[in-house]
Amino acid sequence: MQETLKQLEIEAIAKVEAASSLKEVNDIRVQYLGKKGPITEVLRGMGKLSAEERPKMGALANEVREQIASAIAEKNEQLEAEEVKKKLASQTIDVTLPASPIKIGARHPLTIVVEDIEDLFIGMGYTVEEGPEVETDYYNFEALNLPKEHPARDMQDSFYITEDTLMRTQTSPVQARTLEKYKGQGPVKIICPGKVYRRDSDDATHSHQFMQIEGLVVDHNISMSDLKGTLETVARKMFGEDREIRLRPSFFPFTEPSVEVDVSCFKCGGKGCSVCKGTGWIEILGAGMVHPNVLRMSGFDPETYQGFAFGMGVERIAMLKYGIDDIRHFYTNDIRFTKQFKQD
C-alpha cells in the first residue's frame, strides 16, 4: 500500500509538471485527488489494516495528497503568470508611435462674422434678440409700415406659406416684436442676427436664403448723429481704423429719413479699385430713423421716443472681408472652402 501511494505521488507530480494548461492541471487534480480518485480508494481500504499500521498509512496518504496539491498549486500559479505575460505581450502599446492627427473643424465664415459683430455691439451695451423665421404678414410687413397692397412690398419677393404667414424676408420684424415686448418703455438697444428668405434666383450674388443683422435703438433724444456715430464705430472696427462712412438718401418704409451707408474702400483707401468698382466707396447697409408709425403701432409714443435702425447683409460683409467672389460658397459646404477660416 505504501508503495502504491508513493507510486501515485510520483505519477501525479510528473503529470502536473508536464501539463501545459490550467484545464489540464484541473483534470489531473480531479483524477488524483477527487472523490473517485486512487488516493481516496487507498484510504477506503485502510479498514483492513492493523491498528498499528493505520495511523502510519493515514499520515502517509495525507502527505502524498499534500505533495500533489502543492505541485498543482505551484503549477497553476506558473501557468497563470504565463498567461498574463502572454496577454500583456499581445496587447502592448507602443507609446512612441506618432498618433493619428485629430481633425479639428473650423467655424463657418458667416458664424465668425456674426459673432464678431455681436461682440462689437454687446460691448456697446446692446442685447441680442431672436425672432421666428416663419413670420406673420403682420410683423414682416404691416407693423413695419407696409400695409397690404403697399407697392414697396414688391422690393422683397416672398415665400408665402399661407395667406398670412411667410418665410421672413428680413430681420426687421424683430424690431416690432421687441418694441411690443418693451411695452412703450425705452431704452431699447438690440441687434438681431438671423436667416431670411427671398424668392430670388440663386447666382453669384443672390441666394434665396441669406443672413441679416438688424439693429434698433429707441430712447429719448435719439438723432441721426447717434446713428452715424454708431455706424462709424462699427465700420472702423470691422474694416479698419481709418475708414470713413457716408450716408446717401434712400427709401425704406419703416424709416424716415432713410439712408444707405457706404464705407470708404478698405482695399484702395478710396482711390478706386476693383473691390469698390472704381468709386472708392462700398455699400454695407441700410438704415434710418425709425418711422413714427412703426413706434406707434408697437406701443411707443413717437412724441417722446425716437430711434434709429439698420440692417446689413452678413454674406455681403463676409464676402468683402474675406474676398469671397460667389455667395454660393457659403452654402455648398465644400470643406476646402470652410477650412480656410480656421482660427486659433
Which grid cell is 102?
485629430
With H, G, I as helix, E, B as strand and everything else as coil, classify residue 153.
helix
Pairing of strands 127-128, 188-197: parallel
Give the footprint of ligand DAH on this chain (CB under 6 A): 170, 172, 214, 252, 255, 286-288, 309-311
Q: Which is nearer to ligand DAH, 252 or 300 (CB)?
A: 252
- Rounded least distance, CB 144 to ligand DAH, Å: 8
Q: Which is nearer to ligand DAH, 5 or 192 (CB)?
A: 192
Q: Which is nearer to ligand DAH, 265 or 284 (CB)?
A: 284
| Residue 48 to residue 71: CA distance in whole angstroms | 30
- Rounded least distance, CB 164 to ligand DAH, Å: 20
- Rounded least distance, CB 194 to ligand DAH, Å: 12
- Rounded least distance, CB 197 to ligand DAH, Å: 11
Phi, psi of 306 (to 5 degrees): -130, 165
145: closest CA among 289, 343, 304?
A: 289
| Residue 194 to residue 129: CA distance in whole angstroms | 10
Cis peptide before 187 (omega within 30 of 0): yes
Only one residue has cell 472523490, namely 35
- Rounded least distance, CB 319 to ligand DAH, Å: 17
Contact 57, 39 (CB under 8 A): no
Q: Which is nearer to ligand DAH, 139 or 310 (CB)?
A: 310
Alpha helices in 137-250 (DSSP H): 137-140, 173-182, 224-239
- Rounded least distance, CB 285 to ligand DAH, Å: 7
Q: Which is nearer to ligand DAH, 131 or 288 (CB)?
A: 288
